[in-house]
Structures are given as C-alpha cells and as structure tokens.
Chain A
Amino acid sequence: MADTSTKQRETRAQFVDEPETRIGGDTTKVIRSAMKKRQESSRGNNNDDDATAIVSSPLLTSTPPTISKALVKLYPHLIVADRFLTLVTWSGEDIWPSILMVILYVTLLLYFEKITTYFGHLAIVAVIWGYSLLDKHVEETLNSRPTLDDIVHTMKGVITKADMLLSPITVLSAQDIRKFLFTTAFLSPVYIIITLFILPPRKFLLFGGVYLLTYNSPWSMVTRTLLWRFKFVRLLIFYVTGLDSGGINKNQGIFAAVQKQVKKLSTGSDGATVEDGKPIRFTYVLYENQRRWLGIGWTSSMLSYERASWTDEFLNEAPSPDNFKLPEESSGMLWKWVDKTWRLDMTNDGAIQLSSARPKTTASPNADDGFIYYDNTWKKPTTEDSFSKYTRRRRWIRTAELMKTSSFGLDEIDTTHNVVDNSSGSNHKRVVSQNSVASTVPK
C-alpha cells in the first residue's frame, strides 16, 4: 500500500452522549425525557437524543430506540387524526358526532355572510385556541405514558379508516382522473348553466359537501347500493363523470372495498391485527465492497480498519448473502422471501443511469456489473474504473414479505416452495396462532 494516506488518527472532541439503551433494556425514561423536552421547549433545542424507553412491554424490547421515539412523538397527532377520521368515516361507536359535523357544515354554509360579519373574529380566536389546545393535548398525551401497543393500535385504527376513506379513490387510475378532468373541463359550460339558473353555487356546494361527508355513513351506502341497481342511474353517472358503463364492476369494486372495510372494522374492532389486501413487502439491502490490490486485482478482502466486505446501507457489518437469515419472527408474523435469490441492483440505487432497455435488477450479473468506483478513501464516486480507483461497491437487494402466521393453514407451510431453506427449521412447526380472525391473504 504505497500510498495509504498518512491519515493521522483524528483527535476528535466527543459530545457527552448518554449511553444508548440496550435493546430489551427496561429503563422507563422516554416519557420523562419527552416531558423534559416540553418543559425546556422554550430553550428550543429539542434534538437531544438521550436514552428513551417506555414502560417495558413485549413490543418495546425488540424495537430500536429511534422507532419507539418517533412513534411516541407521533402519538398525539395520531390521536387527533384518529378522531377526525372516525368523524369523517362515520365509524365511531356512536354516529352522533358525525351528524353534528354535517349539521355544523350546513349551518356554516347557509349563513356564511352573517357568521363572518358578526363572528368572524371568533373564528380566528377559535383557530388560535385550537392550536393552543393541540399544544396542551400533546403534553397531556405524552404525560399519560402511552405504551407502544397503544400507539400501534391507534395506528392500525387510523390506517383502516384512512383506507376506507381513500378506497374509492385508489380504485381509479391516473388515466381515469385525466379523463375526468377533460370531461368536466369540456362540460363546464353545462355546469355553469346549471349553477346560474337551477342550482346557485351555494346549494351546489351544500349538496356536494353533504354527499361527501356522508359518503361512508351506513344510510348513504345502503341507498347507493339500491340506486345502483337502476340502469338509468348508471347511464346518468356515465354522462356526468364519463366513467364508461363497463366500469360497473369497478364501481362494484368501490362498494365492495368499502363494505369490506366497514365489516372488518365492526368485527375486528377488538384490535386484532387486521390484514388488508396489499402484501407487506420490504427490501433487504446488502452492499458488496471490494478493494483493488496491486498485482492481484479486485478482491473482497478489505483493510482491517475500513468497512467489511459485506455491509448494510449504514456500513455496518452484515452477513454475506449466503448466510443471510431473515429475522426470527415474533408475534404472529413470519418473514418470507419473495425473490428466490439476491438480485443485483444495476442502477446502484439510482446512481448509474441505465439505458431504459436493460432490466433494473439481474439475478446473475457478471463480475464487473453495477459497481461504483472510489479512490483509496472511499471518496469521489465514479461509474468508470480508472488507475486512481482502489475501491468499489455494488448493491444487492432482495424483497421479503411479512406474512401472518395465523393465515397459514398447516399444509400451506410445506408447499411454500420459495421459503428459503436457510430459515431456521423451528418456525415450520409453528401452530396456527390463536386469533382466528379469518382474513384472506391474496397470493
């Protein structure tokens, strides 16, 4: 190594940093630390990363501190979102708040002028008061020591309700929306005539708003399913929105999706992990690092003090692809590989521009594919090799899916061919877990 840089050991002043909690440690200081931040929030520096943990619970032991801290901070906003969504999707225990919301909307709309002239400033006061309440609420929820399970539970609630809210939208495709846009743009004179003579904009807004707000209410759903049976209604909708009549099943899709959500919510309200249509997939990333030795060429043996030959995205030591095992599954979930083998990301995470024809990832790359070359100190990345380049790395990815063990019939486990043999034998024998919520997991 003629030219190893004479990098002298850098004497660096270290910040005093309280020891990170050991995963599984039971220190219960996260709430206190969060509150501490609140008290001295006036000092403004709230990015101290002192140790955090909440009342020990099975979930806590296995969650890295960054995630638990982030979740705790998100919790108050989650609660607000949850309340709002229950209001809008009429999925709360009692539907009176939703009805109240609709009535409020109607009154506000009808008497807009009077309200603004006499009570305009009250609206502003209300807004500022709302913000202050939110501030107080954030502190209260943080004092009430939420456990990670509560957080996960509220998150699930929010997810299902948001899905319900967005389900009629996600069924459409980008093309549909563009078509909608052009049809409404061209039909706008018709709409103008309607609003000018028949339906003044206020009324139009009134009906539109009420329709949207009560979209998910049980009555409107029933009325919609009934109305949809009439041919005339489908033609009308076709003319108004340009959605071709062939979209019947699509509309059906909307209703079906909404029905399923509401059913799940009503039955699964006891917080059981509810599975929805989409598979839960994660990518595992491995970086293969190599160094060029004079005379030998590119080998994966690295210098002692620098990164290992196989690392993750954060340059921590990682097992090589052959003995890379999926994490042991814990509560009712099973990791399962989706890709058969590790695939090389030819674009090296977007750094290399590929001609569009070539596939983005290949399972069997040749020796020099997808590499980014660096100088001796892993700096100045380039895509081409040159005499001054001594190190290089490429990116391997593999997608894994998180399956619910409860959804596995015993027979299914044996037939899943793509379960990589290296996953430890024990979880094959796992008995179907106890909660028997029948939820279909599409293959």
Chain B
Amino acid sequence: MSNTGGVSAEYRCYSKFIYNHGQKPSLTRATDSKISSVLHRFYPMLIIFDGALNNIMWMCEDICLPFIYMVMITLVIDMLSLCETSASSGKSVFGKISTLWLGMIGFVVLLYSFLYYVVTVYQDLDQYEPPTLDDIVILLESVIDKLETIRKETVSRTLRIRTWLDVLKFAIFLTPIQYVLMRYLSVRDYALGVVVCCLLVHSIWFQSTFRLFWRVLATRIAYFSVLSIFHDRKQIIYSPLIDPSTVNEKTSATIFVPYAQPMHKMSGNKLQLELLKLYPLNNVINGISKMPCPGVIAINIYIVHENQRKWKPNNVWEPKLLPYEKPKYCIELNGHLNACKSPWEYQESLAEDWEWLDDCWKPSEWAYSDSDWNVIGHNDSLEAYTRTKIWRRRVFKVFK
C-alpha cells in the first residue's frame, strides 16, 4: 500500500485458514462411473445413517427432537420394567395401566417416526433435483467425521481394554460397585440410568462437562489412580528418593574402560583430567567388558531430569508439579524414572570410592512438551505446559 501522506497503517496481511473440503474440481465428471453409481445407490443409506448420528450426537438443528426420543425410550423401559415382579407390585392398578399405555404410545411413536423418516427420505430423493456427486461426497465426509469424533470421544480418555487381562481386571473392579448399586437401585432405575447415559454421552454437554471436570485436579488424581490399577506401568517410582550409591549399584549402564598403564601413577584430579581428555562427555564410549574386574575403570552417567510446569494465570514456569506425574527431579535408572534429590545435593553425597569425572553438571536446554509430556519443541509456545531439562554428569571408579 503506497503510504499516502502522513502516518498510514501499512497493509496488515492476515494469512487465511485452509479447511479440509477446499476448492476442488467438480467430481461428477471426474470420477469413474462404477464408483459414482455405487455412491449414488449408497446415498439414501448415508442420509439415514447421518440422521441417526445427528440424533446420537444431539447435533440436529432442532435439539428438542432427540430429547423427545429419549423421553419415549425411558417410557418404553418403564413399561418393560413392569413385567418385573418386584416393581409392579408397588404401583396401583391405575399406575400400571398408565405406564403401560405411555410405554405403548412411546414405542409406537418411536417406531413409526423411524419408518416415516426412512419413507420421506426416499420420497424426497425422488422428488427433488438429483444430487451431484459433490453432495454425496460432502455427506460421506461428514458421516466419517462424526464417526471419527464418536470413536475419539469414547476411546481417547476411557480405559483401553485390549487384552483379556484388562477385561478381567475391569470386571473384578466393577463387581463391588455393581453389588452396592443393586442393593439400592431397582433394575428399572439401573437400566434407565445406563440407557440415558449411553444416549447422552456423545452430546456436547456431556463432553464439555468431562472437559471441565478434567480441569479439576481431583478428577485427574482419581482417573490416574484407577488407570494405574489396570496398566500399572509404574515407570515413575516416587517413594524412596534415590541417592547416588544405590544408583551406582543398580544401574546396568556402567561402562568399563581399560585402566591403562600410564594412568596407574596418576591419582586424584590428574587422573580425572586424563580420563576426561580420553572420553569427552558427548561421544559414545565403548566399554571393553561387562563385569567389574581389576585393572578397569567403571564410568557411570547420572541423567537427572528437572521438570517444571507452566501455571496458567500468568504463565509462570514453576517446579510445582501435579502429584500423579513426574516429580521435580527424577533420574533415569534402567528405563524407569526414579524420584531423586536435586543434582546439586548429589554433590555432597557421592559414594566413597567414586569420583566425579566431569567437573560440573552439563544441562541440556529446555525441551518443551504439552500437558501429557509429549515433546513439542525447544521453545515456549501456547501449546507448552511442561518442560524438562536434563542434567548429565559422570562418575568413575578405579578397580585396582
């Protein structure tokens, strides 16, 4: 924009969104006729299935209809529960007849509105202008998108039961709850509750309430504690704060390096300097043997993770972390992360015959990750909620 006269706002160029069904050639001419014929015959089924999905996800433009369908389903269940001996004795004859009648009407209206919908879909298809292939593909994409969201909603957060073991555990976990429920709830309420939950679970209200509950710490702790029963992937051991000596014993990643002749006479930091010259921190050292035999030097590397989390109101990075995730400092030991003290406290409590090889802790730069600790990059961004810095330092021990 030529700046005309005094202070002119230079052209602020905004980049525009792309969206997935962008500009594309019209499909009717481009596609193979076999596919278009199949798609065309599949179109009514797609419409009906799309209607059903809209109702399940409470997305149709008139929210009241799914609500009415749900009420009718509850009426039908009410009627069915009449046959139960325990429930029916309670109600008066008039009550029984009214529930029966309402259940009957509910069932009939539900059935007929489904039939009516199917019939009117076929009627409209014949009456209106035949669709273009793009319409069909748009509907196809919409159905797939909805199926995808349904799948993501049910599977992403809930427990992933894949193996038989999981099923068994889950069943055992639920039996006490079932027992308690059954004592207080009648079968009718139980069935009603389950059905209504299934109908509502995919609506926006349920999902956003999940999300809002997910914001509360209590729910997260409860969720992860339940989850840990099943998958007990206890990568993170919290209880004993590991001190260096146990690390040295337990670690399987010690490297043994030949204790060469000239080093014999060196001692103290001269030896350390020599070793440092031989084996700088970053490159790989190939050990000669697995076992600590005399005339060899064992080198251990401490890898300590320092974790921090960003707290929203003023985006402040604090070492305050959530109880169920990584502790403030944790050390990598045989693939597990063990809570440990801060690297600088390690300074003093080194085991007796081990000495520091590197003279200070080498920090890596911050690795930023999202709330589930998936690394996203090296600089802070809106996505980053947690970050980790890895401190490395080596120790060595001489076996005479």
Binding site for B on A (CB under 8 A): 8, 10-13, 15, 23, 41-44, 46-47, 49, 59, 62-64, 66-67, 70-71, 73-74, 77, 112-113, 116-117, 120-125, 127-129, 131-132, 134-136, 138, 148, 152, 155-156, 158-159, 162, 166, 169-170, 172-174, 177-178, 180-181, 184-185, 188, 191-192, 195-196, 200-202, 205, 273, 276, 278, 280-285, 312-316, 318, 327, 329-335, 345, 360, 397, 399, 402
Chain A neighbourhood of B147, CB < 8 A: 77
Q: Is the pair B45, A158 in contact by a Cβ cutoff of 8 Å?
A: yes
A333 and B37 form a contact (CB under 8 A): yes
The answer to whether A177 touches B116 (Cβ under 8 A) is yes
Is the beta-carbon distance between A312 and B161 smaller than 8 angstroms?
no
**B71 part of interface (Cβ distance < 8 Å):** no
For B228, list chain A residues within 8 Å (CB). none
User: A74-B144, A200-B83 given. 18 additional CB < 8 A pairs?
Assistant: A47-B20, A64-B24, A67-B27, A71-B140, A77-B144, A113-B86, A120-B178, A120-B190, A129-B167, A173-B123, A188-B108, A201-B82, A280-B40, A283-B129, A283-B132, A314-B23, A314-B26, A345-B129
Contact of B35 among A23, A59, A124, A138 (CB under 8 A): A59
Q: B130: CB under 8 A from chain A?
A: yes
Q: Which residues of B contact A11 (CB under 8 A)?
A: 13
Residue B162, interface by CB 8 Å: yes
**Chain B residues within an 8 Å CB radius of A335:** 33
Contact B27 A155 (CB under 8 A): no
In the complex the two chains form, is B115's CB within 8 Å of A132's CB?
Answer: no
B109-A181 in contact (CB<8A): yes
The reply to whether B34 and A113 contact each other, CB–CB distance below 8 Å, is no
B65 in contact (CB, < 8 A)? no
Contact at B123–A64, with CB atoms within 8 Å? no
The reply to whether B105 and A185 form a contact with Cβ atoms under 8 Å apart is yes
Q: Would A276 and B41 be within 8 Å (CB), given that A121-B174, A180-B112 are in contact?
A: yes
List, in ascending order, chain A residues with CB within 8 A of B181's CB.
Answer: 120
B68-79 vs A, Cβ < 8 Å mask (1 yes, 0 no): 000000000001
Which of A128, A138, A195 contacts B158 (CB under 8 A)? A128
The 3 closest A-B pairs by CB, nearest first: A333-B33, A121-B174, A121-B178
Beta-carbon contact of A125 and B143 below 8 Å: no
Are B137's CB and A67's CB within 8 A? yes
29 A-B contacts (beta carbon < 8 Å) = A8-B1, A10-B13, A15-B18, A42-B372, A63-B31, A66-B141, A113-B84, A116-B187, A120-B182, A131-B155, A152-B35, A156-B38, A159-B41, A162-B45, A170-B122, A173-B123, A177-B119, A181-B109, A185-B108, A188-B104, A188-B105, A201-B82, A201-B103, A278-B41, A281-B130, A283-B131, A316-B26, A327-B29, A331-B34
Known: A59-B35, A159-B42, A188-B101. A313 touches B134 (CB 8 A): yes
Residues of B near A159 (CB, < 8 A) are 38, 41-42, 45
Cα A180 to Cα B161 in complex, Å, equals 45
Cα distance A273–B38 when bound, in Å? 9
What 1/0 flags go to B142-174 for Cβ under 8 Å of A?
011001100110111011111000010011001
Which chain A positions have C-beta within 8 A of B23? 314-316
Across the two chains, which residue of chain B brings its CB closest to A203?
Answer: B83
- Tell me the smallest distance from the CB of A352 to a CB of chain B, in Å: 15
- In this complex, the member of A128, A158, A318 whose beta carbon has the largest number of chain B beta carbons within 10 angstroms is A128
